[in-house]
Chains A and B, each alone.
Chain A
């Protein structure tokens, strides 16, 4: 029911608020009513049509048995999006209040009275023709140009929309909203048609008259309440064509929520590996491969600080809680100058909530783990707190398996995240983030492993003007690993090993926007590395192990960069930059000098130099040009070209067949030179059917220098002389990536095909420093063919089905070729490194999801997803190994066989219950 028309007498009383609400009720009933209208109409199902406030109040009143009191002229002729009726009453009222500039009072839970706001924050002024005026009318004609700034928000939730395109088409003036939904456009004074586009939302067109600098905040609404299909997009509609950046994959929070589910929850890294040029290291491997690069060549940044181990439980889960991610961008090529450190890719993860005006919570319950995230706005949204956590309970599963080692094993993890944002005024923003994760696992009773990640960062952003802003970021990341071994048979060998790495950084950036099509960024980065290669300690009361410690490493990386992104015309744009970097390995520490002309072995050490604290042991410099070019044939087609050079000063040393948590980090030194990557990439991008279908083809060639490789039998842990076991190799990779994606309709999805090669070679002079006789051989990440087909189909408004098929060439492996007897035992002679390949990998995953209820008044909303991983149960080889029986086996036959290890040999169903309130 709706009641409109309220006496002025009552309006005055309304300001006393709820303290007098009882008496107000009587007053309203006695003196206030001038008109009363009743309606039984239901809001139109066509959600693209706006409705009057009267219709909205009618629907809300009918739903919640509420009476509305207001002056009819406040809402006369105004319309509103019908989706507001889907909100809870409180949220709907807040939204109406925000849109209308009115306050409201709820009386006795069934009466709502709207009153004028004392000082409206809204600054929308309309002229006589209904055109929105930007700036001060008194300054008309004073300025030929003016800067229009504003925020684009979701009209339903009020949350900002990053990545929305705000444009004046006639002037070819475009701006993209940042993570806070803010944009800035310089426009000539006068009248313009401002449009806002955002995928999944209705386009908005607003007539504005620009007088002087001013704000224009706009709301846009989803096209439908129906959940959108899974869409992974590298840019918003059309941006993949018009943006200079290439080889970048972007996912916002909404898209992330709808990504394919893996073992109970959305997994950001696994989802990214379904895209061209990105591959998984294995069935559930830790990390990912980008264009043939090693996993440690990917910089995973969480709020601008790196995550050194991005996986839980051997890679079963990503270490990043998907519920807290507000956006992810992966750069494969054309990496902006503000990024460096790793030579293959940058994956920037932003944490954040929906910026809701009320407290929100969401989470999920799965078979192996559960999660919860809570968002709390405070002080009228000036302060926002986001907290989240996950924990596993997987031990019970291992104990049920018919293998003694697995029964004696355990595994588990938990992680905690927090983000605090403070809106410190119109031009300043402060944010803090924290992250902690802990993993534990044991392969038997005797050996226990633990590792943890701790990240923290603080960011201060200041906007000097619409053209200049700056940000200062400082952060830290700590990765610690611990291993305890206590053999009950031989407690005298009980030992523990600890190692880790500390990372501290400071980043300062200055952004200057000289024009709509021109932006410049200048920045300085400073990084302090403290690497702790390891310490051996006795463990257990009877241990006779002698403590031993490998000296810590300290390194400083300093970089300055400049980047200029300019659009010369609608057809041609360029983003050019340069990053100059300097790395110093600092003392205290030793440098071993080896005899010239001889292989580096401990026996060939000729001298040892000692360097005092903070003395430079060795220094490396790098100049990293960055260049991206775009040439558009028209609005639907463009060519792009990019070149990127990056120096990498920290490497993960690993000589295990799969990425292991025991792998240690190593800073560049005199012998292990920085990895240098040069990548040239080109692409053709073509959008069809009004940007609903995207097609692209990219080619790349990458040259890599100083890749760490390992001598036969290298010992990497607790090695004082790593240079004697680590050798360097050079390599190259190249490939072709084809991508076809459909973004809208009941059936969405993509097909991705990648052809890529990754080769490397050593150049040692002694046999022990050669691999495969210094001939080129496939790297561990050489996977020539990779096909992904991902399809999603909306069966009804609440039911959707999806299927993902992946197929790729097997990874290179080293296999046994000969066997012989020595000392009475069977010994194996292995082939040249990576001479063979595992069998081809292919897998089909399917899922069906029942999305949350569309009932308007339900606060607790939940969804179910039933998925089956590896539907046809293929035993995809994860690795191959040649193994004997465990020597502890009594009926030991001495048999040895070649095995392939597979993680999932049968269809694995999982079910997830997700909720939010």
Chain B
């Protein structure tokens, strides 16, 4: 039926034009929330670092303002031995323990807060579990699909070559523990100025990359987690310099990766798992319905008062590795290096490589 061809061609174009209009749009249901809700982010680890607590106020979801810090609070930790550590205000909304404070595996801690209006908040008791052990961090040349978005919001995919890093770690206290993995990334690149005499000048730059975009937890029923975790996919570093905002005359040299493995108790795992699900939700048709993620902070004087956030006491181990792609040899070199904590967001050295760059 030749006459059908003409009809189909017209309809094909019409249909495409129709569907190309997209299938989602931003939506403002006009929610007006006046509720004032405290947000608590507390952390005790067994590392050589102080306990920290951050207090802020939640904002209406459509508010343009940032989170308001909560200052003037009295914050202290009590362990199950009765020992109390009072935290001091560091900067707006941040409270830290004395530098001598160390979390101890097997101990349980409770966070107590009294805000300036006299309201008392308290966490459930959190037991600090032994830290895991990181066996190795390593990389392999690989490729991954990246998504690029144009000014109209249309997305296209492109495969990028790069270095896929992995971590192997193990439990120090048996099987089936829950972990949260945090990563900090940094790139090292250089620029050579050949015009200087008698020698060319070499500049070494570093720049921290943004933090993880999601929260990674393992130990879910569907994962391969056991007491030993191998080839945990830590981070993918693309080799395309454009993606790091580098100039044409700059050379990408190395990647640096710090991996922190937190050993979570059941309550912390359940909390982070829910956060992870929420953060990874991209609006797919069959995503689970939205749910309220309750933390472990309550207001003893008013059970109905909503408090958000979580106080966590987790064993933690961290290691930092350098990773160098050797594309000519079709392999990746890697090795352990110095801790990157305290390093500025970016910096440079001249002629001499930075201290963490020596390997």
| Contact partner, B230, options A544, A767, A879, Cβ 8 Å | A544
Chain A residues near B283: list those with CB within 8 A: 881-883, 899, 901
Is B247 part of the contact surface with A, judged by Cβ < 8 Å?
no
By size class, the interface of chain B is 35 or more
| Contact partner, A909, options B14, B28, B213, Cβ 8 Å | B14
Q: Bound state CA distance, A495 and B222, in angstroms?
A: 9
> Do residues B233 and A712 form an inter-chain contact, with CB atoms below 8 A?
no
Could you tell me the distance in whole angstroms from the C-beta of A63 to the nearest C-beta in chain B?
26
> Do residues B287 and A822 form an inter-chain contact, with CB atoms below 8 A?
no
* Chain B 287-300 per-residue mask, 1 if CB under 8 angstroms from chain A, else 0: 11111111000000
Is A595 part of the contact surface with B, judged by Cβ < 8 Å?
no
* Interface positions of A from 835 to 880, Cβ below 8 Å from B: 836, 875, 877, 879-880
* Total interface residues in chain A, CB < 8 Å: 94
Chain B residues near A568: list those with CB within 8 A: none
Q: Bound state CA distance, A590 and B278, in angstroms?
A: 32
Is A655 part of the contact surface with B, judged by Cβ < 8 Å?
yes
Could you tell me the distance in whole angstroms from the C-beta of B290 to the nearest C-beta in chain A?
5
| Contact partner, A712, options B142, B284, B294, Cβ 8 Å | B294
> Do residues B21 and A818 form an inter-chain contact, with CB atoms below 8 A?
no
Q: Closest chain A residue to B289 by CB distance?
A: A657
Q: Bound state CA distance, A488 and B39, in angstroms?
A: 38
Q: Bound state CA distance, A493 and B293, in angstroms?
A: 27
Q: Bound state CA distance, A877 and B56, in angstroms?
A: 34
Is B357 part of the contact surface with A, judged by Cβ < 8 Å?
no
* Chain A 483-504 per-residue mask, 1 if CB under 8 angstroms from chain B, else 0: 0000011101101000000000
Could you tell me the distance in whole angstroms from the C-beta of A495 to the nearest C-beta in chain B?
8
Q: Bound state CA distance, A307 and B291, in angstroms?
A: 31
Q: Bound state CA distance, A713 and B59, in angstroms?
A: 23
Chain B residues near A822: list those with CB within 8 A: 39, 41, 275, 308-310
Could you tell me the distance in whole angstroms from the C-beta of B314 to the nearest C-beta in chain A?
12
Chain B residues near A884: list those with CB within 8 A: 279, 281-282
Given the known interface contacts A818-B308, A820-B67, A829-B37, the answer about A655 and B288 at a Cβ–Cβ threshold of 8 Å is yes
Is B61 part of the contact surface with A, judged by Cβ < 8 Å?
yes
Is B35 part of the contact surface with A, judged by Cβ < 8 Å?
yes
Chain A residues near B18: list those with CB within 8 A: 904, 906-909
* Interface positions of B from 274 to 324, Cβ below 8 Å from A: 274-275, 277-294, 306, 308-310
**Which among A331-339, A356-364, A398-406 touches the partner chain?**
A398-406
Is B263 part of the contact surface with A, judged by Cβ < 8 Å?
no
Chain B residues near A660: list those with CB within 8 A: 285-286
Is B221 part of the contact surface with A, judged by Cβ < 8 Å?
yes
Chain A residues near B215: list those with CB within 8 A: 823, 825
Q: Bound state CA distance, A901 and B266, in angstroms?
A: 35
> Do residues A825 and B61 form an inter-chain contact, with CB atoms below 8 A?
no
Could you tell me the distance in whole angstroms from the C-beta of A910 to the nearest C-beta in chain B?
8
> Do residues A825 and B155 form an inter-chain contact, with CB atoms below 8 A?
no
Given the known interface contacts A656-B288, A889-B149, A911-B7, the answer about A489 and B27 at a Cβ–Cβ threshold of 8 Å is no
Is B199 part of the contact surface with A, judged by Cβ < 8 Å?
no
Could you tell me the distance in whole angstroms from the C-beta of B62 to the nearest C-beta in chain A?
8
Chain B residues near A712: list those with CB within 8 A: 274, 291-294
Chain A residues near B280: list those with CB within 8 A: 887
Q: Closest chain A residue to B304 by CB distance?
A: A773
Chain A residues near B144: list those with CB within 8 A: 488-489, 888
Could you tell me the distance in whole angstroms from the C-beta of A644 to the nearest C-beta in chain B?
30
**Which among A145-153, A374-382, A809-817 touches the partner chain?**
A809-817
Chain A residues near B289: list those with CB within 8 A: 655-657, 814
Is A658 part of the contact surface with B, judged by Cβ < 8 Å?
yes
> Do residues A404 and B155 form an inter-chain contact, with CB atoms below 8 A?
yes
Could you tell me the distance in whole angstroms from the C-beta of B137 to the nearest C-beta in chain A?
16
Could you tell me the distance in whole angstroms from the C-beta of B159 to the nearest C-beta in chain A?
9
> Do residues B154 and A403 form an inter-chain contact, with CB atoms below 8 A?
yes
* Interface positions of B from 159 to 199, Cβ below 8 Å from A: 164
Q: Bound state CA distance, A834 and B274, in angstroms?
A: 19
Q: Bound state CA distance, A399 and B357, in angstroms?
A: 46
> Do residues B33 and A817 form an inter-chain contact, with CB atoms below 8 A?
yes
* Chain B 81-98 per-residue mask, 1 if CB under 8 angstroms from chain A, else 0: 000000000000000000
> Do residues A713 and B236 form an inter-chain contact, with CB atoms below 8 A?
no
Q: Bound state CA distance, A891 and B151, in angstroms?
A: 11
Given the known interface contacts A489-B142, A489-B144, A836-B29, the answer about A818 and B221 at a Cβ–Cβ threshold of 8 Å is no
Q: Closest chain A residue to B142 by CB distance?
A: A489
Chain B residues near A36: list those with CB within 8 A: none
> Do residues A656 and B27 form an inter-chain contact, with CB atoms below 8 A?
no
* Chain A 508-527 per-residue mask, 1 if CB under 8 angstroms from chain B, else 0: 00000000000000000000
Q: Bound state CA distance, A880 and B289, in angstroms?
A: 10
Could you tell me the distance in whole angstroms from the C-beta of B325 to the nearest C-beta in chain A?
17
Chain A residues near B41: list those with CB within 8 A: 821-823
| Contact partner, B27, options A402, A890, A898, Cβ 8 Å | A898
Is A902 part of the contact surface with B, judged by Cβ < 8 Å?
yes
Chain A residues near B230: list those with CB within 8 A: 544
> Do residues A890 and B243 form an inter-chain contact, with CB atoms below 8 A?
yes
Chain A residues near B27: list those with CB within 8 A: 877, 880, 898-900
> Do residues B224 and A824 form an inter-chain contact, with CB atoms below 8 A?
no
Chain A residues near B31: list those with CB within 8 A: 815-817, 831, 836
| Contact partner, A829, options B14, B226, B292, Cβ 8 Å | B292
Chain B residues near A909: list those with CB within 8 A: 11, 14-15, 18
Given the known interface contacts A489-B233, A827-B278, A913-B4, the answer about A662 and B286 at a Cβ–Cβ threshold of 8 Å is yes
Given the known interface contacts A815-B31, A909-B11, the answer about A881 and B213 at a Cβ–Cβ threshold of 8 Å is no
> Do residues A824 and B15 form an inter-chain contact, with CB atoms below 8 A?
no
> Do residues A492 and B231 form an inter-chain contact, with CB atoms below 8 A?
yes
Chain A residues near B214: list those with CB within 8 A: 887
Given the known interface contacts A819-B59, A887-B280, the answer about A902 and B67 at a Cβ–Cβ threshold of 8 Å is no
Q: Bound state CA distance, A365 and B5, in angstroms?
A: 12
* Chain A 703-729 per-residue mask, 1 if CB under 8 angstroms from chain B, else 0: 000000000111101111000000000
> Could you list 8 further interchain pairs (A-B, Cβ under 8 angstroms) beyond the known A493-B223, A816-B31?
A657-B287, A662-B286, A815-B29, A818-B61, A823-B275, A881-B290, A890-B238, A900-B27
Q: Lowest 5 A-B CB distances belong to which pairs? A: A883-B283, A712-B291, A900-B27, A660-B286, A820-B58
List 7 A-B residue pairs with CB atoms under 8 Å apart, sorted by A's residue number.
A404-B156, A818-B35, A820-B37, A821-B41, A828-B278, A830-B290, A889-B155
